[in-house]
Structure 1
Amino acid sequence: MGTEPVPSADPLLALTAQLASGQSLDWAQAQSLEPTLREQLRQIELLAGGFGIAPDEDTEAGTDAKSALTALQPGDRFGPLCIRQVLGRGSFGQVYRAYDAELDREVALKLVHGEGRSRSAILHEARLLARLDHPNVLRVYGALEDDGRIGLAFELIEGQTLEAWIGGHESLGAHALVATAMELGAALCALHQVGIVHGDLKPSNVLRHPGGRWIVADLGSGQLPGRDAMSAGTPRYMAPELFEQAVPSEASDQYALAVVLFRLATRQVPVSGDDALQVAQAHLRGERLRLLDLRPDLPAPLVRAIETALAPDPRQRHPSVGHFVAALTAVITRSPERTRRRRRQVFLGGLAATLLVAGLWWASPTKVSDETQWDWLSTRQEGIRTLRLGDSLGIDEGLQLSLQLDRPRYVHVINQDLAGQRF
């Protein structure tokens, strides 16, 4: 462990010495500093996490008696945060609503109990997550410590989970399935890009942003590739190799995404059981439901893409989550009948939330010809209808932009949700 800080009459020097030695900041002492200095110290503790941790310091989180996660109560403090409410328990720790007085905002605080994971590994993972800035990934503000305990500070989303959303909606059609896959798949790809495997993707770990988009959460259960861990996952969403002590991987995240889509399409999971043992035995016996048996109305390529992602052998799945999503989107991006005139059709796919049809921006160095025509079309099993600006689009509808151009042009289409998020 780091050496004890040298006592100093200067509170700033004393506090930076605490950081350098790996200790938690004494925030009562910090109150004598200027607000700008307090904010800088807060950022260092939140975002730098293990500032004073030597590379070879790898003691397991939770092995020290001080690391025992006694439940926090409203009014308790954790570093600079004040606990306001218990939100629940997720993978690897309790979750609280907390207030950050320095920035005057509420955050979600997750106390991480580790389960054999090292303190330095947890802090390293938190720093990786804090670098992510993706609309479908829950924003991580950073890691902080208090009395030997480690907490992760997240953006607080006031929205229902995908699990709750499923309970109030019918099974999804092809377009809505693909739209949801695009959002969840993009989130997983963003995590994989920085070297993080989620490890526990399931409907209860996906949140609905007030603006309409889906956000993958419970990131504290993530795994750095190569770690042995079976306990992180939820049995019905776990890939079969994880029951044989394989390490969580991008391929097992792909399997979990396929199970989520299977459930959205059928309200069932492909392999079920009352506990992990029953699910593992069902995998061994090859007892599982088939998507085509339950939803013969879905396009065959879509069914095939999901079934491939559910392959028992991870080597038989798609090469990556990105390839999986590409196989799904190919189902709805196939052009309908081609006309004799030059037409450019852009399929935006089914949307995971109700939208308002927005405007169209043209990028052209010259004035658009009067011969140029464009139409927004809604596609459902019942047929196609033309949309007007301001019309709403249901979750079971596909959105198609049909363009008739006088000559080849560049066209830029911008989607914007109700929260102003563009994508």
Structure 2
Amino acid sequence: MGWEAPGYTEVRQLGTGAAGRVVLAVHDDTGIHVAVKYLSDRWRRDPVALARFRAEARTLTTLRHPNIATLWEYIQDPQGAAIVMELVNGVSLRALLREHGATGPEAALVVLKGSLLGLARAHETGLVHRDYKPENVIVRDDGVSKLVDFGIAVREGTLSRPEGTPPYMAPELWAGEPSSAATDVYAATAVFFECLTGQRPYRSTEPVVLGYQHVHAPIPVQDAPEPVRGLVERGLAKDPAARPAGAEAFVAELEAVAAAAYGDDWEERGRRRLAALVLLLAVLMPEPPPAEPQVSTTLARTTFRGVRGHVTKTAMGATLAALVAVSAALVIANRDRATPFEPVAAAPPTESGVPVALPPTPSTTPQLVPEDTADPEDTGAPEDTGDPPGGTDSGPPPTATPPFTATAGPSATRTAGPSATRTSRPTPTRTATPTATATRTATPTPTRTPTRTVTPTASPVTSVSRLGVGRLAVDGATAAGTFTLAATGAAPVTVEATWRAGGRIVHVERLGLRGDTAYTRTLRHTFPERPCGQDVTLTVASTPAAPGGARSATVSVPPCPTEVTALRATLRMDGATARARLLMTTSGTAEVPVSAAFAVDGDQVADRSATLSGRTSYTRDLTYAFRARPCGSTVSVLVRAGGRTASARARVTCPPEVKSVSIIRSAYGDGTATATVAVGTGNARPVRLTVTFQLGGRVAGSQVLELAGDTSYVRTVRQAFGQVPCGTAWQVRASTEPGAGSGTAVDGGRTPACEPEEPTEEPTEQPTEEPTEGPGTIG
């Protein structure tokens, strides 16, 4: 079977999967039944998976609540790692839904209330469960439910990759946004809906479609009973801000609705309904349900007869059992292991809210466990998906330990529940009342000889002669210190150890010492977070008190280097100003320098920097103002912080700077063309106006005008053509740079048409007179 947790004997396996296995085991020193969750060898060799497994255990040490399964111990050595949990003797809510379908509204309200109360306790410490689902709710045979598996819990507001079980993931998880208490409220309401109707709110098998339904699809409130539709609608709101402010606030709404709809005794009826459903699946419980007590008296009377007489012993058995139970719990709570943190007992918080590691008190109410492998079809074990521990398919973590009672003495009796008794002497009558007082008397038997009176011998008084606290050290979030104690006898001595961080009490534990006169013990405590920059103090006091009273040791923890755990950047243009927004989360509140480098088309143009401190989550803008908006360019930013980088870019578009260009009028006369041009702009920046004249399809000339200092211009331009044939087409074109929104303006006409020529008369032929012969004429 491989490595087993030291001090525990495995009884049988409850479930198995790729991440590990869950077994029912017995604590060797006390006989207590527990559930042990082992990390598989594959994941134990993965530092990230091992750290996550250890973080789950550390998380559970901070959570003490009746609706959350209690951590008993975390064990880690080179051969293996295990979480020892309270054995919750019951079945998972998933098993109830699979076997019986809808539970009915009153039972569903009881499940929702118990889960919300457990989640509220987690939210008080700043934790978000993120994987609430029916597999992680265990219902006992008295109808009480317990929440398990905090494997992927995160601090509220943490930016991380989306994780969870898709049918119950809130819209913000699908969008990659931070988790909050409202995220758990959404998942709890989705399970509530399933208890009411027997089916999930959204049921697509395609993750993409399922995500779309959670983000956009209407809430199927019409499928729920009418009196509780308002609760479903509030809890499944798409916007986290529209859901109840937290789990505790939702409980108040739930109780008001339930009482109005189903009467003041709705909770009792709901618990009875759940108990009946669980008992129908008793074969899946790790231990058989307890039998009904067969006695009606609270006193047990056992007579031992001797040679000279008899002694009568009358006691309330549960009182002695409780005393030994305390000792047994202290054995578990103070084992000296080389582990990240020591075992803690299941104790409620003190009035100040600080968890105190005190042993559990006996109870006649059996605790319950997940259904796991009692049924091959319904093991409750993690599915073999290969996911690391704490992932969404790792199954419900083990829960453990029914209360026990054990009495020591001549007639030792160990009771594993209200109905089981094992004796090594003549069996006394069992008792059903858990409290009583114990008396012991010795009465001599009358004889014929003088009466002999038995005088008890007084036990020597043990006192503490010396108490000291050795060197205190803090490694990460775990503090360890050693104390020594010397006593004058071997009688019991009680030691109370108080841990403080920054002057605040953060943990108190008590140890019982007996059987020796000198003791050396190492105490360890793991803080929820590393106590950076604080003084950690261990104070040890004893009863009986040591000379001089309590002893203390203090160590100053240096400030921790703050690490950047997440960094994102966005970029937008506001006019000519580039605005880079960075979103950053850190592991501490110390100073973190951040810088942003701005570039245009890949060429860096500016640097901006800032130093952030005092918080663990930041949203900050870094800006750079250009002289003019870099129209048509790509602006980018590269943000650096704590060794991480993030980048963003934006393409810059601009509206036209020149709104319009138009030719108001144009004319031609006496060989010259004239055009009057109007230009309208959006600003007073320079504009180049070009006016071109054409004659007969050829460019006859052009003029360029520089315009600036105004937003409206009118200019008249002339072009002499010289001698132009009549009836020739001419044209004027006006354009700007930058280009106008209205485009290029065109106008023109023709030169005057030619005048028609007047017709000319041809001369008539006149008859010529022949000369007459006269004197001198030679013929």
Q: TM-score, normalised on structure 2?
A: 0.32
Write the mapping of 1:138-217 to structure 2, written as runs, cut at 5 A: 138-147=69-78, 149-169=80-100, 171-217=102-148
Q: Which residue of 1 aligns with 2:233?
A: 307
What amino acid does structure 2 have at the position aligned with 1:354? R
How far apart are residue 252 of structure 1 and its match? 1.0
1:321 lines up with 2:247 in the alignment: yes
What amino acid does structure 2 have at the position aligned with 1:200? D
**Distance change (3 Å), C-alpha of 1:277 and 1:218:** same
**Distance change (3 Å), C-alpha of 1:303 and 1:117:** farther
How far apart are residue 312 of structure 1 and its match? 1.5
Q: Distance in 1 between matches of 2:208 and 2:15?
A: 26
**Deviation string, structure 1 residues 106-130 (Cα, Å, up to 9, x no partner):** 3222245599858667545534423
How far apart are residue 209 of structure 1 and its match? 1.6
Q: Distance in 1 between matches of 2:232 and 2:147?
A: 19
1:290 lines up with 2:220 in the alignment: yes
How far apart are residue 259 of structure 1 and its match? 0.3
1:352 lines up with 2:279 in the alignment: no
1:107 lines up with 2:18 in the alignment: no
Q: Distance in 2 between matches of 1:178 and 1:317?
A: 17
Equivalent of 2:171 in 236, 240, 246: 240
Tell me if structure 2 keeps the 8 A contact 1:76–1:82: no
Aligned residue-pair number = 275
**Deviation string, structure 1 residues 153-192 (Cα, Å, up to 9, x no partner):** 2112232111111233353444333222211111111222
Q: Which residue of 2 aligns with 1:98?
A: 25
What amino acid does structure 2 have at the position aligned with 1:291? V
What amino acid does structure 2 have at the position aligned with 1:352? G
What amino acid does structure 1 have at the position aligned with 2:36? L
Tell me if structure 2 keeps the 8 A contact 1:162–1:207: yes
How far apart are residue 246 of structure 1 and its match? 2.5
Q: Distance in 1 between matches of 2:38 and 2:177?
A: 26
Tell me if structure 2 keeps the 8 A contact 1:91–1:218: no
1:88 lines up with 2:15 in the alignment: yes
**Deviation string, structure 1 residues 34-74 (Cα, Å, up to 9, x no partner):** xxxxxxxxxxxxxxxxxxxxxxxxxxxxxxxxxxxxxxx2x
Q: Distance in 2 between matches of 1:266 and 1:260?
A: 10
**Deviation string, structure 1 residues 290-335 (Cα, Å, up to 9, x no partner):** 122x13x421xx2112211111121211111112221121113349
Q: Which residue of 1 aligns with 2:461?
A: none
Partner-residue secondary structure (3-state), 1:349: helix
**Deviation string, structure 1 residues 231-286 (Cα, Å, up to 9, x no partner):** 641110111211222233211111110001000111111122225333223335x2
**Deviation string, structure 1 residues 354-383 (Cα, Å, up to 9, x no partner):** 18xxxxxxxxxxxxxxxxxxxxxxxxxxxx
Partner-residue secondary structure (3-state), 1:77: coil
Unpaired segments ≥5 residues, structure 1: 1-72, 337-344, 356-415
Q: Distance in 2 between matches of 1:205 and 1:152?
A: 16
How far apart are residue 88 of structure 1 and its match? 2.6
How far apart are residue 200 of structure 1 and its match? 1.0
Tell me if structure 2 keeps the 8 A contact 1:143–1:151: yes
Q: Distance in 1 between matches of 2:366 and 2:83?
A: 25
How far apart are residue 76 of structure 1 and its match? 3.3
Q: Which residue of 2 aligns with 1:78?
A: 5
Tell me if structure 2 keeps the 8 A contact 1:134–1:187: yes
Q: Distance in 2 between matches of 1:236 and 1:78?
A: 35
Q: Distance in 1 between matches of 2:63 and 2:135?
A: 21
Tell me if structure 1 keeps the 8 A contact 2:15–2:22: yes
Tell me if structure 1 keeps the 8 A contact 2:190–2:201: yes
Determine what percentage of the aligned residue pairs are the same residue.
27
Tell me if structure 2 keeps the 8 A contact 1:178–1:350: no
**Distance change (3 Å), C-alpha of 1:311 and 1:97:** same
Q: Distance in 1 between matches of 2:194 and 2:364?
A: 25
What amino acid does structure 2 have at the position aligned with 1:250? A
Q: Which residue of 2 aligns with 1:382?
A: none
Q: Distance in 1 between matches of 2:85 and 2:238?
A: 34
Q: Distance in 2 between matches of 1:120 and 1:268?
A: 36
Q: Which residue of 2 aligns with 1:47?
A: none
**Distance change (3 Å), C-alpha of 1:180 and 1:283:** closer
**Distance change (3 Å), C-alpha of 1:124 and 1:310:** same
Write the mapping of 1:336-347 to structure 2, written as runs, cut at 5 A: 347=265
Write the mapping of 1:327-338 to structure 2, written as runs, cut at 5 A: 327-334=253-260
Tell me if structure 2 keeps the 8 A contact 1:230–1:248: no
Partner-residue secondary structure (3-state), 1:104: coil
What amino acid does structure 1 have at the position aligned with 2:195? L
Q: Distance in 2 between matches of 1:282 and 1:238?
A: 11
How far apart are residue 147 of structure 1 and its match? 1.5
Tell me if structure 1 keeps the 8 A contact 2:221–2:229: yes
Write the mapping of 1:18-97 to structure 2, written as runs, cut at 5 A: 73=1, 76-89=3-16, 94-97=21-24
**Distance change (3 Å), C-alpha of 1:131 and 1:283:** closer
**Deviation string, structure 1 residues 381-419 (Cα, Å, up to 9, x no partner):** xxxxxxxxxxxxxxxxxxxxxxxxxxxxxxxxxxx9964
How far apart are residue 97 of structure 1 and its match? 3.0
Q: Distance in 1 between matches of 2:211 and 2:23?
A: 33
How far apart are residue 98 of structure 1 and its match? 3.4
**Distance change (3 Å), C-alpha of 1:349 and 1:104:** closer
Q: TM-score, normalised on structure 1?
A: 0.56
Equivalent of 1:133 in 30, 41, 64: 64
**Distance change (3 Å), C-alpha of 1:194 and 1:145:** same
Q: Distance in 2 between matches of 1:199 and 1:91?
A: 21
Partner-residue secondary structure (3-state), 2:185: helix
Tell me if structure 2 keeps the 8 A contact 1:179–1:351: no
**Distance change (3 Å), C-alpha of 1:225 and 1:98:** farther
Write the mapping of 1:394-413 to structure 2, written as runs, cut at 5 A: none
**Larger RCO (CA under 8 A, 6+ residues apart):** 1
What amino acid does structure 1 have at the position aligned with 2:14? L
- Greater radius of gyration (CA): 2
Larger helix fraction of residues = 1
Partner-residue secondary structure (3-state), 1:236: helix
